[in-house]
Structure 1
């Protein structure tokens, strides 16, 4: 246990170090990562955060679920033009797509069993001291229906050998009411904790997207998100309880706080969506195609 704690303490120190971002840049630019087989399209799943029933954050009359769908749709359209990608999305203007709506409805019992078995296994690992539970940035506890959706997405991604899952979100912080401007601003990218089996490849993807977004946008100034690349083991989207296979890279991008000035007007929002989508896709392309050496790890275990 003492050895494990020592390793984890070192990991925590590195993650909080001001040199961490620089080290990520060096890895991204100087360590060759992939060689993509052109005959095998890279399978991307886009998850616009929240939905019409639980819409997440809100500023004025603007709801996070509408914002995430608008941005995700732009990313989808850009990727769809590139034949090297096979792109899926969980929601459109009518709600969850038929494939996902049917999957959640027809496989609910299996999803629940998948979730509970995973929780049991990770609990055993914690008890056996082979997985160290650690404190993370505070997150809202999701309701049962939402957990079915999120764990269902992970299960579907594993079964369909998805290579990348991108969760699109906009951040928030407790405010007096929907019209109050909050304290913090800036974007953050969450990636799997270093102990998780999909952590390294996900971290590389996160770093490439981060580099592109950070060329124009400021990183979150919330003290628990400083640095902008945040490892997390609790977010279901990232594969909490080891519910994503090693080959499924997953990142959750908080593109900014919903009340920021650039998001307040529809006209500026549309411009920002277009730019953020372009930068996200550029980061993804850089990750996959600019460092050709090792074979692509598919979505299997």
Structure 2
């Protein structure tokens, strides 16, 4: 006869252990170019794609004006904000709760270009997943830091990202870095490598700095891990084109990177190109990755 006392069944603990074995997270990054102006387009995307986490850039509104109620009705109850009136601004909206959130500043400017969150036990993860959402300065039109303070700011921002220790995952760390990084670093990340070498976003100095940041942190660029370097990949098409589809002069400015520890967990990657053709669209489109964590 077995006289050992068996522990009482704890449904919550059992469910938590099951959830923590492994799960897939679908994550989207999108420079929405005004979240209030395009909230209906955001809702359209969320209803169709249902990512677990949506990272927005260029929200262009202060935190107290962010459309929280609309996101909550869509099922995204957890929000981390770093906004400002009329310019810049980043946000993370999520179906999964955060364990923590943080904001970092760069170049001694308070201009709302970063927000970070940690997903952990509250989201049912066995180990923390750290997410950084960035909006890197565009850099203006003149690719000379001596003549263009905006370009100088961009280069300094990239340098400070490289020098920022928390952006360099250690062995085993599960980190994701996303956002509008405003650099198309590879030859086939732009419609014409030769014609854009002197155009801001694809100049050699910008590409060198972004790729230096990537290699310094041992980051994996999911797009180029899934798509051959020989294939053209774009996430942005200028408003200046009369017919953006016919011209197809795009650039890959929006990125999802993961730490080496997550490389084996990459399950899918997609660019919602159709969003560029929606009514009153952003010039950027949503970029989505599915990662097993």
Shorter-chain TM band: 0.3 to 0.5
Q: State the structure with bigger RCO (CA 8 A, min sep 6), 1 or 2.
A: 1
TM superposition score normalised by structure 2: 0.32
TM superposition score normalised by structure 1: 0.32
Which has the greater radius of gyration?
Answer: 2
If each structure's helix is expressed as a fraction of its own residues, which one has the higher value?
1
If each structure's strand is expressed as a fraction of its own residues, which one has the higher value?
2
